[in-house]
Every structure is written in C-alpha cells, then in structure tokens.
C-alpha cells in the first residue's frame, strides 16, 4: 500500500525527456530499477546508504550515487539512508570503528581508545603534537575498523531489508487467504 502511494511521486523514464537539464543524464538516471520500489532495489539502496554514510566529509552522497549507478539500486533510498551519519552520530560511529578495528587486529591493535590529551594554550605546539600523536595512535585500528564497519553495516542492512520485506509479503499473503486476523 505504501508503495502505491509513493509511486506517483517517483519519476518515470519519460520524465527525463521533459526536463531539458536532465536529458544528458537520462542514460544513467533513466534505468527503471534506480526508481523501483522492489525488495532488491530498496535493499541495495539501504546497503549503499549504510556503506557510503561512513565516508568522511561531503563525499557520502557522491559515493552513494556511484554505487547506485553501478549496481542499479534505489537512488532516493540510498541518499536518505546516508543521513544516519550527522554531527551527533559520527563520533560514536568512528569510536565504534576504532573498537571494531581493535577487535579485528587483536594483538596489533591498541585495545582501547586513549583519552583525548588536554590542550594547553600556552604551549600550543606541544598540544598540537600531542593531539596528532593521539590521532595516529588509532591509525591501524581506524584504518581496518572503518572499512570493516562499512561492509558489516551494509551487509546487515541489505539482509535486514530482505528479511523484513519477505515477512511483510508472507503476512499479506496470509491475510488475503484469511488465515491471519
């Protein structure tokens, strides 16, 4: 039912012919699966958004656009899901990535996130060096943990959407047959 309501707002392949600025992009954005609301396309969009949401800086949307164009998954879903990272959630996610990297590296990893060094304004050169040393101390753990967390969240998101979608379909079928309330 939700799909029927939202489908009227999604563009069709012919929609790009009506917009002069969009005609050059029709080849890329005109693929019907990019706008489709089916279990594979939506699950792929969620996976793309979860993966690309952890890309640093403003490259999240660009990364998800590349994923969408290569894999032909749902574009609006991918863009919306990248918003799970924001100024409030990014620090805990990166700390989780460091801890995940420590777990994966075992003996090589540091085992814990060290406390942030105190900043001394009278000796800002030493404070800057201490801050750089602190960030580099998480280097291997972050370098391994961030891509691992990106892949893990992406796979979990894809599988979760597929499972929830299948359960919803089965419930709808049972309701139609009159076996469920």
Each residue's pLDDT tens digit, 34-58? 888 899 999 999 999 999 999 877 7
> How many domains are there within the chain?
1
- pLDDT band for 110, please (50, 70, 90 cuts): low
The predicted pLDDT at position 107 comes to 67
| pTM higher than the cut 0.75 | yes
User: Is 40 among the domain residues?
Assistant: yes
Residue 111 in domain: no
> Is residue 69 situated within a structural domain?
yes
> Does the pLDDT of residue 25 top 90, yes or no?
no
> Would 131 be classed as within a structural domain?
no
Query: Is 120 within a domain?
Result: no
Which residue range is the domain that position 149 belongs to?
2-89+139-177
Count CA atoms closer than 13 A to 141's CA, side-chain side.
24
């Amino acid at each position: 039912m939700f799909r029927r309501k939202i489908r009227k707002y999604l563009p069709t392949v012919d929609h790009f012919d009506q917009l002069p600025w969009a005609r050059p992009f029709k080849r890329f954005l005109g693929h019907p699966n990019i706008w489709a609301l089916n279990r594979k396309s939506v699950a792929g969009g969620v996976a793309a958004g979860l993966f690309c949401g952890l890309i640093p800086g403003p490259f999240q949307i660009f990364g998800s656009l590349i994923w969408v164009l290569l894999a032909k998954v749902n574009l609006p879903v991918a863009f919306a899901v990248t918003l799970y990272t924001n100024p409030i959630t990014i620090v805990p996610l990166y700390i989780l990535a460091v801890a995940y990297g420590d777990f994966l590296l075992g003996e090589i990893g540091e085992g814990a996130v060290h406390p942030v060094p105190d900043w001394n304004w009278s000796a800002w050169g030493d404070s800057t060096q201490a801050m750089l040393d602190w960030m580099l101390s998480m280097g291997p753990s972050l370098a391994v943990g961030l891509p691992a967390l990106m892949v893990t969240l992406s796979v979990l998101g894809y599988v979760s959407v597929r499972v929830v979608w299948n359960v919803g379909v089965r419930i709808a079928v049972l309701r139609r047959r009159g076996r469920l309330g």
